[in-house]
């Protein structure tokens, strides 16, 4: 193998490592990319630090990426799949850690840090969590189904990060012959907080956000990092969505920023007059896969050609009544594949709202009370059609 080929192979390995870190934040021994992160630790850490403002911690069995995000830009915390059927679903259909579960993650982490355990039965941990929560004026009752589910989700979340590892028993089982018994990985626990001092001093959620640099070269670097994070993490960066200073900077530095984003991730840059997107052919680095096999996303996809035909390119708003007709016609046309009742006005309204939420989240539509405005990236799907499999390909139950 020539020197150029070796360099290309090393570059592709670094891109795989970076994509995995951006997608999952924590890599454990079961993740094949952990070997790549350890192999290219210095180069990967420098690239993430310099271009995205993120910090990387690597040990023999863990790689942990700490990203600074704004509360407004925060996304749901996904729980690791528990079954084969859950793993088969798109990432954005995985279970989400609810508000009560997020609170319990913090309380559990505090108890583990204070107690110094390296192994603990779930019942013992649960008792200490109740006591510590009471000192914070938080009431918990494991007899209540909501609190039990929140505890189970919080433990699952920490297990997904490798902080807790099931040693014996059944996961989430309290006080029975099959009670769960966990190992506690203290180094991974310590990595949960990127800035312990800031957390300790915070009196409001806004205090947890990193301050923006006020001027000079640091301000330009912070702006570049923020725009690069948007390129890497958002479905599309529209110029109209940026404030005036960021838009001027992006236009002036567009080629350089796109080149850096492509070099970091190995994804293809798609530039349009309205903005830029990184396109992943293999669905890597996306937490919102689209198109996808679920009925709701199939409906959302088939709505786009109809909405694009109504877009005159001048900020046209498609009225909600027109959208409801489009959805009703699609439900009627695919009644044999979908279970929605096209004759039920409530079902049509609810289904329309859910499909519009999917398309809005992907920045394909801008939704308002009056209707929707078709955004430029939606036209990538203007030729979408329904494909029906021949009868001989149908799977029989």
Which of the four pLDDT bands, split at 50, 70 and 90, describes residue 390?
very low
Residue 51: Cβ-neighbour burial (10 angstroms; 0-12, 13-18, 19+) = buried
**Tokens 């018994």 -> residue:** 181
Same domain, 358 and 304: yes
Same domain, 142 and 242: no
Number of domains forming the structure of the chain: 4
Which of the four pLDDT bands, split at 50, 70 and 90, describes residue 78?
confident
Question: pTM of this prediction?
Answer: 0.80
- Separation between Cα atoms, residue 381 and residue 372, nearest integer Å: 16
Do 303 and 327 meet the contact criterion of CB atoms below 8 Å apart? yes
Q: How far apart are the first and last CA of the chain?
A: 50
On whether residue 210 sits in a domain, the answer given is no
Same domain, 168 and 226: no
Same domain, 147 and 181: yes
On whether residue 204 sits in a domain, the answer given is no
- Region 215-233: what's the mean pLDDT? 82
On whether residue 290 sits in a domain, the answer given is no
Same domain, 129 and 182: yes
On whether residue 79 sits in a domain, the answer given is no
Over residues 147-195, the pLDDT tens digits come to 999 999 999 999 999 999 999 988 877 777 888 999 999 999 988 877 7
Look at residue 134 and tell me whether its pLDDT is greater than 60: yes
Look at residue 69 and tell me whether its pLDDT is greater than 80: no
Residue 310 is part of which domain span? 295-387
Look at residue 293 and tell me whether its pLDDT is greater than 70: yes
Predicted confidence at residue 211, as pLDDT, reads 62
Same domain, 322 and 246: no
Predicted confidence at residue 6, as pLDDT, reads 82
Which of the four pLDDT bands, split at 50, 70 and 90, describes residue 3?
low
Over residues 324-365, the pLDDT tens digits come to 999 999 999 888 888 898 888 999 999 999 999 999 988 899
**CATH number of the structural domain spanning residue 359:** 1.10.10
- Separation between Cα atoms, residue 285 and residue 295, nearest integer Å: 23
On whether residue 392 sits in a domain, the answer given is no
- Region 19-47: what's the mean pLDDT? 94
Predicted confidence at residue 354, as pLDDT, reads 93
Look at residue 296 and tell me whether its pLDDT is greater than 80: yes
On whether residue 209 sits in a domain, the answer given is no
């Amino acid at each position: 193998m020539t020197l150029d080929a070796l360099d290309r192979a090393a570059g592709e390995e670094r891109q795989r490592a970076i994509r995995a870190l951006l997608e999952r934040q924590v890599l454990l021994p079961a993740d094949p990319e952990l070997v790549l992160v350890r192999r290219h630790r210095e180069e990967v850490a420098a690239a993430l630090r310099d271009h995205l403002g993120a910090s990387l911690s690597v040990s023999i069995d863990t790689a942990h990426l700490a990203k600074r995000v704004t509360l407004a830009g925060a996304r749901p915390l996904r729980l690791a799949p528990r079954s084969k059927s859950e793993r088969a679903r798109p990432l954005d259909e995985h279970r989400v850690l609810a508000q009560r579960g997020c609170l319990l993650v913090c309380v559990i982490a505090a108890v583990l840090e204070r107690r110094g355990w390296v192994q603990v039965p779930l019942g013992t941990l649960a008792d200490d969590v109740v006591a510590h929560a009471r000192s914070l004026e938080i009431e918990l009752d494991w007899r209540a189904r909501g609190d039990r589910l929140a505890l189970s989700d919080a433990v699952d979340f920490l297990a997904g990060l490798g902080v807790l590892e099931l040693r014996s028993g059944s996961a989430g089982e309290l006080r029975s012959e099959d009670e769960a018994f966990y190992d506690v990985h203290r180094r991974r626990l310590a990595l949960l907080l990127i800035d312990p001092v800031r957390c300790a001093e915070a009196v409001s959620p806004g205090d947890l956000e990193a301050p923006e640099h006020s001027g000079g070269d640091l301000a330009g670097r912070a702006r570049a990092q923020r725009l690069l994070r948007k390129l890497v993490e958002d479905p599309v960066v529209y110029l109209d969505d940026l404030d005036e200073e960021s838009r001027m900077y992006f236009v002036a530095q567009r080629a350089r920023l796109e080149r850096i984003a492509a070099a970091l991730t190995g994804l293809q840059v798609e530039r349009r007059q309205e903005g830029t997107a990184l396109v992943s052919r293999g669905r890597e680095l996306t937490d919102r896969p689209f198109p996808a096999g679920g009925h709701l996303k199939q409906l959302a996809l088939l709505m786009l050609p109809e909405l694009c035909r109504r877009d005159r390119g001048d900020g046209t708003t498609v009225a909600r009544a027109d959208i409801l007709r489009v959805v009703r016609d699609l439900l009627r046309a695919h009644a044999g594949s979908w279970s929605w009742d096209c004759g039920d006005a409530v079902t049509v309204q609810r289904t329309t709202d859910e499909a519009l939420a999917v398309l809005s989240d992907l920045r394909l539509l801008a939704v308002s009370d009056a209707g929707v405005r078709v955004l430029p990236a939606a036209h990538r799907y203007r030729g979408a059609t329904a494909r029906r499999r021949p009868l001989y390909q149908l799977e029989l139950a």
